[in-house]
Amino acid sequence: MDDSHPVTSGVTDAQPPDPVFIQETINSIKDIIASDYGSVSKEIASLFDDVTGLYAGKWPDYQPCQVGYHTLQHALDVSLAMTRIISGYHSHNPDLIPLETFTSGLAAALFHDSGYIKDRDDNSGKGGKFSFSHVARSKVIAEKHLSGLSWAPGQIAYVLSIIDLSDFTDIPDIPTFLNPEEDFVAKSTATADLIAQIADVDYVQRLHLLYDEFQEAYDNEGKEDLIARSIHVYESFQDLSDETAVFYRNFVLPRLQLFDRVDRHLILFFKKGRNPYSENIIANLSGQLKNDRTQWQKLGELLQELGFVSEETIHKALRQQEHPQSSSTEISLLQKSLEHHIIGCHNQRSRSKSLGNILMEMDALKPKTLRQGLLSQILPTELIKELSRNEVNILLETSLLIQNVYNDPWMFSQVLEIINELLDTESCSLLLANPEETELMVAVQSGKILGGSPGEGNTLDKGLSGWVFRHKKAAAITEESIADFFSEYYQQESDQIRSVLAAPLHLNGQVIGVIEAFNKRKSQFGDHDLNLMTLLAHIISNSLSIICQLYRK
């Protein structure tokens, strides 16, 4: 089965938990449980309520969670990943994991980082000081609570043994469990703890929250004492950030292998031959955020960079754009046209005037200057220099063909066919975000059906398309990067998708979708392919903007 689970975006500071997002995550987990087991037991429902109360400070002995990284959302993300792994296992095994065993794994996932929560009378720090001792504290909290619920001693002991596997300060000693099902659930929970955080679409941005927790522990315990205990100490946030990929290769990957790579079952859960968690991890670790050379820029930023307008003028224009004089809410005409012709999407955030029009009305820009800015936005000079004569011809053909999309929407599939030929790929898809931005719907597809058929949705919380949508940057997953980060199991379990390249589609300052290509035939995706896809995304985005204008009339 598949489920939709949205992602947060732009997380840069410790923020109070979003109750809507928290509930959506819980609902996603419950939906999978109900699908697999027929219903959600009262015991499981109670666990969610109890742990939510713990993190909110509603337990008499504990304060609300104050750390910014190991939050309730992290506990729920781990629980969701674990549930997806087990559901993927269920999809190709005749017997379900016993409900009691699954419930124990879920309890471990929910409580495994509760040790960061401070006691009620603790007035020191935020809880990061427990970074290297939180596992023991988590076990105390879990044991006391589950004993109060009259859980059997053996079941509680099993929960605590799973929590032990989450200790990152030492190589875990995997105990001998009673049966293979217990062993599988324990390894699934421990695996989920590793992959859920690194696959978070905001992982790179949230690293400073993790460093804040480490810094509090360094101040509390002393770096020299920690080093004497063979605990790795980061000298700075930059040190932590720079070592992320090394940490994955030297720490996370060996543990995933120790846990029998149970994350392979995610391919079966999500179907379509893809493991979106793996795609997010590769995108996060491959340095995609470091290369802004050819990425799409917001028009306002570009006009400032070119020296055409001041930052103050841009801010003034943006305020007018965000608060137009007309009070009517305009439905995106692009989405409306596609509703009639393709799949039925809506978007109520389109604005009636573009930033360029507002700047000209303010006499801040001349039409010629705006034209220069728009051309620099659509056709970055550095990109043009790299194009061959054949590539220029193909881009021209694409630009001419796409002008007919207004009257002949099927022409989109021909444009995607051209992209397949240009990039030498097996499949290409155009995806559009649904109104709630919880899914990217496949609007048009050409070639092999690899990323989904038209009308199918891809969950936005995981997968390269979701990563690109949230970060507004093109990115690639190559066979080489899969081998670097995931060894051979990914190809063994998924012989359909070997590589993916994706770029965002921008319309009037916002990302509305993604264009995605699969399986480059004779070589790996490289920087030139990334540049070509970015340029093609510019062309398609601007054609969509023209369609909006035509439908407005």
**Mind spelling out the 3-state secondary structure of 386-420?**
HCCHHHHHHHHHHHHHHCCCCCCCCHHHHHHHHHH
Domain annotation covers residue 64: yes
* Residue 350, φ and ψ in degrees, nearest 5: -65, 145
Q: Are residues 250 and 340 in the same domain?
A: no
Residue type, 136: A
What does the longest C-alpha to C-alpha distance in the chain come to?
77
> How many whole angstroms separate alpha carbon 506 and alpha carbon 302?
15
Token reading at 318: 């943006």
Helix (H, G, I), strand (E, B) or coil at 71: coil
Pick the closest to residue 503 from 524, 522, 476 (CA basis): 476
Please tell me whether residues 201 and 52 are part of one structural domain: yes
Q: How far apart are the first and last CA of the chain?
A: 42
Rounded Cα distance, 296 and 378, in Å: 8
Residues 258 and 388 reside in one and the same domain: no
410 and 538 housed in the same domain:
yes
Give the closest residue to 461 by CA, choosing from 269, 286, 174, 259: 269
Instruction: Return d(Cα 488, Cα 482) in angstroms, integer.
Output: 8
The pLDDT value recorded for residue 548 is 56
Q: What pLDDT does 109 receive?
A: 98
Other C-beta atoms lying within 10 Å of the C-beta of residue 176: 6
Q: Looking at the domain assignment, is residue 281 inside a domain?
A: no
Q: Which helix (H) or strand (E) holds 319?
A: helix 311-322
**415 and 533 together in one domain:** yes
Would 46 be classed as within a structural domain? yes
* CATH code of the domain in which 495 resides: 3.30.450.40
Separate counts of helices (H) and strands (E) for the chain: 26, 6
Q: How far is 166 from 190, CA to CA, in rounded Å?
A: 6
Same domain for 343 and 259, yes or no, is no
- Give pLDDT, residue 266: 93
| Count of the separate structural domains present in the chain | 2
What residues does 62 pair with on adjacent strands? 119
Of 245, 270, 295, the one marking the end of a domain is 270
User: Do the beta carbons of residue 22 and residue 76 sit within 8 Å?
Assistant: yes
Phi/psi at 329 (5° precision): -95, 120
Q: Which CATH number is 215's domain given?
A: 1.10.1300.10
- Residue 416's alpha-carbon distances to 21, 430, 462, 526, in angstroms, are 35, 8, 24, 19
Last residue within a domain, chosen from 239, 270, 301: 270
- Is the CB of residue 2 less than 8 Å from the CB of residue 84? no
| Residues 387, 457: Cα–Cα separation, whole Å | 34
Helix (H, G, I), strand (E, B) or coil at 239: helix
Q: What stretch of H or E contains 520? A: strand 510-520
Residues 180 and 79 occupy one common structural domain: yes
CA-closest candidate to residue 536, choices 371, 417, 367: 417
pLDDT in tens, 358-383: 777 777 777 777 666 666 666 666 66
What local confidence, expressed as pLDDT, does residue 405 receive? 61
| Whether residue 227 is found in the same domain as residue 90 | yes
Other CB atoms within 10 A of residue 34 CB: 11
Beta pairing partners, 506: 511
The answer on 386 and 265 residing in a single domain is no
pTM: 0.75
Which alpha helices (DSSP H) does 229-305 contain, by range? 237-242, 244-247, 253-258, 265-270, 276-285, 299-305
Same domain, 35 and 148: yes
Which residues have CB under 8 Å from 467's CB, separation 6+? 201, 279, 280, 283, 284, 475
Choose one of 242, 270, 298: the last residue of a domain: 270
- As beta bridge partners, residue 511 has 506
Closest CA to 347 of 336, 328, 332: 332
In this predicted structure, what is the pLDDT of residue 2?
A: 45
pLDDT at residue 478 in the model: 84
In this predicted structure, what is the pLDDT of residue 10? 34
* Among 337, 350, 272, 301, CA closest to 508: 350
Q: Is residue 23 part of a domain?
A: yes
Residue 24 lies in a domain: yes
Sign of CA dihedral 174, 179, 183, 185: negative
Residue 3 lies in a domain: no
Spatial CA neighbour of 416 closest among 300, 505, 301? 505
In a domain, 444, yes or no: yes
Identify which of 501, 499, 503, 500 has the alpha carbon closest to the alpha carbon of residue 473: 503
Whether residues 266 and 414 fall in one domain: no
Q: How far is CA 13 from CA 10, 67, 219, 351, in A?
A: 9, 11, 21, 29
Residues in the chain: 553
Ranges under pLDDT 70 in the chain: 1-16, 287-309, 311, 313-357, 370-384, 403-410, 435-437, 483-495, 508-509, 544-553
Tell me the C-alpha distance between 366 and 359, whole Å: 9
Spatial distance between the Cα atoms of 282 and 1, rounded to a whole number of angstroms: 24
Q: Return d(Cα 98, Cα 92) in angstroms, integer.
A: 16
CA 409 to chain centroid: 30
The amino acid occupying position 351 is: R
Instruction: Kindly state whether residues 258 and 392 are assigned to the same domain.
Output: no
Does residue 502 belong to any structural domain of this protein? Answer: yes
Q: How is residue 207 written in tokens?
A: 């690293």
Determine the Cα–Cα distance for residues 384 and 392; give it in Å rounded to an integer.
Answer: 9
State residue 453's pLDDT score: 78
Where in the sequence is the domain holding 455, given as residue range(s)? 333-347+380-552
